[in-house]
Amino acid sequence: MATKKTTALRCPTCGTLVTAGDAEFPFCTDRCRVIDLGKWASGAYRISSPIHDPELLDELDGLRGAGRATSQHLDHDLDENG
Ligand SMILES: [Zn+2]
């Protein structure tokens, strides 16, 4: 029973087991490396995510409400066309 110390990881793209000695480690092939880089470039991996917290959105909406009074005077301009 030999205890051979080998570092191995799974390819981030396809999940194939790759040993540390592989030329493309931690990717199984150059193709998988390119695919993974492409994901980063296209934004498939996002570090920050959009806000989905209803309470936080409500709070932001409340902050914007302070300047809401300016939209009313635009309505009567439509009557001149009628
Ligand atoms: Zn792969």
pLDDT in tens, 42-58: 776 666 666 677 777 78
Question: In whole angstroms, what is the distance from residue 61 CA to residue 47 CA?
Answer: 25
Distances (CA, A) of 46 to 36, 50, 62: 13, 10, 28
pLDDT at 19 over 90: yes
Distance 70 CA to ligand 1 centre (A): 57
Question: In whole angstroms, what is the distance from residue 23 CA to residue 11 CA?
Answer: 13
Task: Output the DSSP codes for 18-79.
Answer: EETTSTTTTSSSHHHHHHHHHHHHHTSS-SS-----HHHHHHHHHHHGGGGGGGGGGGGGGG
Query: pLDDT-derived band of residue 80, with 50, 70 and 90 as boundaries?
Result: low
Distance 26 CA to ligand 1 centre (A): 9
User: Could you report the per-residue pLDDT of 5-18, keeping only the tens digit for each?
Assistant: 778 999 999 999 99
Distance 41 CA to ligand 1 centre (A): 18
